[in-house]
Amino acid sequence: DIQVTQSPSSLSASAGDRVTITCRASQNINRYLHWYQLKPGKAPRLLIYAVSSLQSGVPSRFNGSGSGTDFTLTISSLQPEDFGSYYCQQSYSIPSFGQGTNLEIK
Amino acid sequence: QVQLQESGPGLMKPSQTLSLTCTVSGGSIRSSSSYWSWIRLAAGKRLEWIGRVFASGSATYNPSFKSRVSISTDTSKNHFSLKLSSVTAADTAIYYCARHVADDAFDIWGQGTVVTVSS
């Protein structure tokens, strides 16, 4: 199975900050890496698919990058509505997710 | 626009079989390119993919669930279902249904349903 390691596990930042979350896969997963936002009581939201493609309706402040085994989600200018949990996921083999990052807005 | 809605019992006892349904609206479960998955999130754990089913009924499961899991479709009702047998407290989680295309991302999710296993 492919292991996915995500960091940090929690993050506190202020509106306007630039935030970066990283994800590392245990083997090369090409471009089969995606990012999600979870909020309590709401349907999880796909933000970025295939490493760097922005899902329709997602603000352009969300950006994905990386290749092979190392990937990054960047929020260029944090907004108050960006609080929540963020997860990366690989779909190269049996789908698996990172541990999640809880993002708190100061 | 396709929407998903989970339904099922909120509270279960150990050893029972969990049965959840995901109703698809705004589109057909028969979509030739769509797969339909179940994913769960337990407190303090990461999201965990349980398995998926294609419209034809062909299913693939996470080996972690071994023979406890079964996912099926009912095209007449436009929904798909999860059965998880011999539940324990470790199966307490929010259960989500989601759609994806082949090896692509899960692009549509339900809001999730909370399942608690307790004696």
**B32 pLDDT exceeds 80?**
no
Q: What percent of chain B has pLDDT over 90?
A: 88
Do residue A42 and residue B107 have CB atoms under 8 angstroms apart?
Answer: no
Q: With beta carbons under 8 A apart, name residues in chain B contacting A38.
A: 41
Q: For residue A39, give how far its alpha carbon lies from the nearest alpha carbon of chain B (Å).
A: 10
Do residue A46 and residue B111 have CB atoms under 8 angstroms apart?
Answer: no
pLDDT, tens digit, 9 for 90 and up, residues A77-106? 999 999 999 999 999 999 999 999 999 988
Through-space distance between the first and last CA atoms of chain A, rounded to whole angstroms: 37
Q: Cβ–Cβ contacts within 10 Å for residue A106, how many?
A: 8
Which of B62, B100, B105 has the CB atom closest to A94's CB atom?
Answer: B62
For residue B44, name the pLDDT band (cuts at 50, 70, 90).
very high
| Two tokens, residue A71 | 């990937």
- List beta partners, residue B7: B21
Residue A42: predicted pLDDT: 96
CA A76/CA A100 separation, integer angstroms: 19
pLDDT, tens digit, 9 for 90 and up, residues B46-80? 999 999 999 888 999 999 997 899 999 999 999 99
pLDDT, tens digit, 9 for 90 and up, residues A47-85? 999 999 999 999 999 999 999 999 999 999 999 999 999
Q: With beta carbons under 8 A apart, name residues in chain B contacting A44.
A: 96, 98, 106, 109, 112
| Two tokens, residue A49 | 């698919």
Q: One-letter amino acid identity for B110?
A: G
pLDDT, tens digit, 9 for 90 and up, residues A11-20? 999 999 999 9
Which of A34, A41, A95 has the CB atom closest to B111's CB atom?
Answer: A41
CA-CA-CA-CA torsion sign (B10, B85, B3, A34) = positive
